[in-house]
Each structure stands twice: as structure tokens, then as C-alpha cells.
Chain A
């Protein structure tokens, strides 16, 4: 469960000027719900996920995760409830470490112990989990992550994000940097993991089609505010064309090209 109450985030532009990125934003996402977040660049989508995860400070407002007020928690403390994948495949993994060491890091949340991290039993279990990804990673357990392709690396990051059974998954355009074939695979994995691990998921995407397909609820953001919140029958009626029309109505003439919205 994620509850955001009147969150304000603004950046100092210098000279006493401030740019408000999130403007008294509130949002509640129920346990097990998948939400797509769409909106143009600068709408505050990434800032929203960053403020949930604690990567940036809030000016005002409260963040609740699983019923707990985590507003004052540091990012590493909130991570206990969260799995996160960003757009950059480099962001979530330690590139100069092996696949299995990365998995050992992600396998559990919280302080580490003086205990061998990758005993044979753990390696066998990971081999099995990697084989399930279908990306040929099971034979590359002892290779450095930097040698993997972008798609493999992002699939691994996704596995690392869910392997410790967090309750909430935050995805920030995690397939946008991948080629279409790999994006398709990682998207399918995402859907599978959300079901398998029973996750509450917030997914930022630029792909309207995907936004509708993957989630039971679609949120549209503009200039730091939620301007449309579609779920239930309202969302079921929605198709890509109607969503684009809605989008254009808000954005005005700035967004003239349909194809920009449909990538």
C-alpha cells in the first residue's frame, strides 16, 4: 500500500527562485494494485517515484508505505518495502561484480552478516531463477555484470528488485532504453513478477498502449499534479486514441505529433 498526502517538492533554481515539481499531490494505491503513470517530460513522474523511495527531500506532505508513515525514513530504510528499477540498466547493479554476487546483495534487505554470501545451495537456487528469466543468464553466474547486454542487465535488475519479496515495485521507464525485442521480454517478466510476488506496482511509461494493457489504473500527470485518474469501467472503456486525445487536450498545441506519444 502506498499513500501520498499533499506532497510538495520544489527545486531551488538559485536567486530565490523555486520550481515546484510536485504541487500538493495526493495519491493512494491499494495493496496489489498496478498503476501506470503517464505524462509529458517534466510532469513530475520520476520525482513522484523518487519522493516515495526517499531519494529526494520533501518540502511538505507525508508518505505512507504499508500503513507506516515513512516520511522521516532514509532511502535505505524505505528500501525494505520497495523494489526499484530505473531506465538506465547500469543504475541497479554493481557492474564490476559477478551476477551471483549482485543477486546475493539483493537477496535480502537490511544489515549484512558475517556469513558466506554465496554458498552452493544459493548458487543452485539462483541458477534456477535465472533460467526462468529465459535470457541465458543461468550459465553466466560467475561473469561480471558489465559484460551482459542491456536487456540481460535490466532483466537481472528486475529480478534483484523482487527477489527479496518487497511489497511495492517502482518502475521508472525501465524498458525505454532497450530495443523493442528486449523491451517486450522485460515487460512480460514484469507482469509475471507482479503477479507471482503479489506486488503493488507504480509504473512510469511513455507507451500509451502498454500503460493501458499492464495496469488496472492509469494516472496522467501534468505540471506536478494528477490531472486524470482512470480505473474501473472508465479505464476499461479507454483506448489508445482516446487517451492520446485526453493527453492532447491537457497539453494543448504543444504536443502536435501523435507519434511522439506513442513510442
Chain B
């Protein structure tokens, strides 16, 4: 049970990294994630299993990185679509995200070969590797956890480094005051495009890992992920306050694990209060409201 919460928390924490980048760094409320997450799941599942079945030993060996990269890249493409629509048509971010998300539903079905669901039961190299990670030194569930920790640590390190570079600082300033970025002689739209691509590439990678973990990719996997990602980010902000980017990134992962634990608790013991799995979305919504309300009270004090 605990391993399950931790693994889910870390996998969806990568998604929450993306939500953090769009909502918090870029100040760009991006709904594309509802399309880029399942797109990453679909591309990751299809590519990893195709590579795995390949008779070419090199391709076969590259199944896991190829699947992860496919999810990352496809997510980034979805982000690019949103950025292009937003900049060219000058429509609100929410609308740009909805357009891409809607379009990607069909694209995702195509990636999945026309079926809404793509099972990975017998052909799941990513999960297989994660379970036997560290050469069987750990029980398979904890090996799975360790592999997720490794991926998250690498991503955390790269993102932390990135947000200390000139490009990362400029991206942070863009969400804060676009004028300051323009004054620095930076083309703001190009910078924002890279940011939105990153904010969707991460959910794409998360989707690829989630599909492997669940054993299938599904076209409906994206439903509600923006809200849960946002709840995750806010939960983290509620418990740890900091202006330092390293802490802000780390608390996204902590918030994600906490969020998954809360959802698990609601599923397992919610029946006491008459809560069914159908009510989890309502709980997510209430959690966002509660997080915002509590952060307001905290700020006033």
C-alpha cells in the first residue's frame, strides 16, 4: 500500500512538475496537459512495446529510454501546438489549451492504433525493468519505488539547474513581468513557447510511466489531471513556504505523494463517511478550494 502511494505520487509528481511550470513559472493556465498526458501514455506504450518486440538487439535494449523519450517528445509537441495557437491567434491560454486538448483526443486514438485502450500486459519493458531494478536486491515493489525516485531525482536536479540558468531566470521573469523580459532584449513569445513545451513534455513523460505502471494506455487517462496536478502543487505550497526554486520543486513531489495518500485514504476509509470512488473528483475540487482558502488565511497572519 505505502509503496503504491509513493510510486503513484512520484509518477504523477512529474506531471505536477509540468503544471508547476505552466501555472506558477509562466503564469500560463494550461489545460493542454489533459491531452499531453494521455498522448505521452499512448506514445510511450506504443513505442516501448514496439521496440521491445523488435528483433534488433539494440532497439530491443533501448525500449525503455525510447518509450520515455517518446512520451516526453509527444507531450512537448502538444505544448508547441498550444503555444503556436496562443501566439498566432492571440486567444486566451485556457482556450488555446482546450483546442489542443480536444484535438489530441483524436491524435491519441490514432497513436493507439484506433482503439481507445492499449494493453501492456505481456509486453511492458518499462515496468519489467523498474521491478528488477538494482538487480533484484529489493522486493519488486520497492525496486519500482527506487526506480521512480531515481527518475524524479534526475528530473529535479535538471529542473533546479535549469531554473538557475539565464534561460530559466528569464522564463521565471516572463510569468512575472513580461515587460522586464522585453527590456532585456529577449523575444518573449519564443521563450514562452519553450516553457509551454517543457510544461507538457514533463506530463508526457509522466504519462508514459503511468501507462507502464498501470499496464495499459487509455485515451481517457487525461481526464482531471490538470485539477489533480494543481491540487498537488497547492498542497505542497500549503505545507512548505519558500521563495527558493529548489524547495519549490521539491515540494511539488512531496505534495504529490501527499495528494495520492489523501486519495488513497478516501478510497480505503472513505466508506465510513459514505465516500465512494465516484466522489474523488469532488474531493479534488474541494481540496483545491481548501488549499487556496488556507493559503489566504496563512498570508493574512
- Check B185 against A102 for contact (C-beta < 8 Å): no
Q: Which of B165, B170, B183 has the most CB of A within 10 A?
A: B183
Would you call the interface of chain B mostly helix, strand, loop, or mixed?
helix
CA of A104 to CA of B183, assembled, Å: 13
Q: Which residues of A contact B165 (CB under 8 A)?
A: 112-117
B125 interface hit (Cβ, 8 Å): no
Q: Which of A80, A82, A117 contacts B169, CB < 8 Å?
A: A117
CA of A79 to CA of B168, assembled, Å: 20
Chain A proximity of B28: nearest CB distance (Å): 15
CA of A157 to CA of B255, assembled, Å: 36
Q: Which residues of B contact A74 (CB under 8 A)?
A: 187
Q: What are 29 residue pairs bridging A and B, where the CB atoms are less than 8 Å apart in the complex?
A: A74-B187, A76-B185, A76-B188, A77-B185, A79-B183, A79-B184, A93-B177, A94-B177, A94-B180, A95-B177, A97-B169, A97-B176, A98-B243, A101-B172, A104-B166, A105-B170, A106-B184, A108-B185, A109-B184, A112-B165, A113-B167, A114-B167, A115-B165, A116-B164, A117-B165, A117-B166, A117-B169, A144-B243, A161-B183
Q: Give the total number of A-B pairs whose CB atoms are below 8 A apart.
A: 96
Chain A positions near chain B (C-beta within 8 angstroms):
74-77, 79-80, 82-84, 90-98, 101-102, 104-106, 108-118, 144, 160-161, 164
Chain B proximity of A199: nearest CB distance (Å): 15
Q: Which of A74, A77, A82, A117 has the most CB of B within 10 A?
A: A117
CA of A28 to CA of B184, assembled, Å: 25
Chain A proximity of B206: nearest CB distance (Å): 24
Q: Which of B164, B170, B183, B188 contacts A92, CB < 8 Å?
A: B183
Q: Which residues of A contact B168 (CB under 8 A)?
A: 117
Known contacts A94-B177, A112-B165, A118-B164: A84-B172 contact under CB 8 Å: no
Chain B proximity of A142: nearest CB distance (Å): 9
- Check A115 against B166 for contact (C-beta < 8 Å): yes
- Check A105 against B187 for contact (C-beta < 8 Å): no
Q: Which of A79, A82, A91 has the most CB of B within 10 A?
A: A79
Q: Which residues of A contact B177 (CB under 8 A)?
A: 90-95
